[in-house]
Structure 1
């Protein structure tokens, strides 16, 4: 059973931009556990990345790039969170297959994706990364379907700037 809770009254009809606060939401992670964004806001900088689909070439390359840079993200105290519309079982298999060492969230119906205003690219769910400070404010975004591995570089550069 999928869990989705959205909090607050702010309605997002446009993509979240630098300076915006991320919306509160709760989704299931790859273990089927409830994950609420408000449990990490105020504690860590966040790298929240939306990707189209588990086990596709670009998404696998991107996820493995985040995995391989895990220690670099740890140096900044940042938590990495990947979100797609795939179900919990798909995320569990994807994480296991590629030894992913970060949180994957299942967004059935792409409700959180829509809440963030992540645009589609020719009918495909978009690939956008948000760097969020400890206060829950977006400090950097990167939107590119084709440069999957550059999402990690952009994230690390933004975290470095925050230091």
Structure 2
């Protein structure tokens, strides 16, 4: 199981615009709030994405990029992004390989992909892990608090 202090596994996935996002490209540049979520346009996932959207500028000011990952395809992500005006990339992990590398557990008796947020510092080290299906917007608040603490110690 990945833990705080571990190096975040690198990955490369396509964005909704067809660009490639590679975690290693962020190293030395900015922190990353990497959040895994079950499915586009479901109530909890929409609340979470919109909460990240509404506070996105705060995350940018704290030197972080927000990145969402689910197994939905690029077309689903594109519709979800447009519908809710999401300013951050959503990545399609169709085969669930990145989810496996990050050891994100399944939820609700193994029926749904889990909801886990990682805060990764600019050196690529995991600083925070939060796993909760029910507290979708708690992921946003907690990640922001961790980044604020990191900013104070920098």
TM-score (ref. length: structure 1): 0.89
**1:33 offset after TM fit, Å?**
1.7
Aligned residues: 149
1:148 aligned onto 2:132: no
Paired residues for 1:4-23 under 5 Å: 14=1, 16-23=2-9
Q: Provide the residue aligned with 2:147 in structure 1.
A: 159
Q: Counterparts of 2:92 and 2:18 in 1: how far apart (Å)?
A: 9
The answer to whether the aligner puts 1:33 opposite 2:8 as a matched pair is no
The reply on whether 1:108 has 2:94 as its aligned counterpart is yes
Which of residues 40, 52, 64 in structure 2 aligns to 1:54? Answer: 40
RMSD: 0.7
Aligned to 1:133: 121
Q: Cα deviation per residue 1:8-55 (whole Å; 9 max; x = unaligned)?
A: xxxxxx2x2100111111001111222111111221011000000000
- Which consecutive segments of 4 or more residues in structure 1 shift more than 2 A? none
Gap regions ≥5 residues in structure 2:
none
Question: TM-score, normalised on structure 2?
Answer: 0.95
Say yes or no: does 1:124 pair with 2:106: no
Distance, in Å, in 2 between the alignment partners of 1:119 and 1:97 is 28
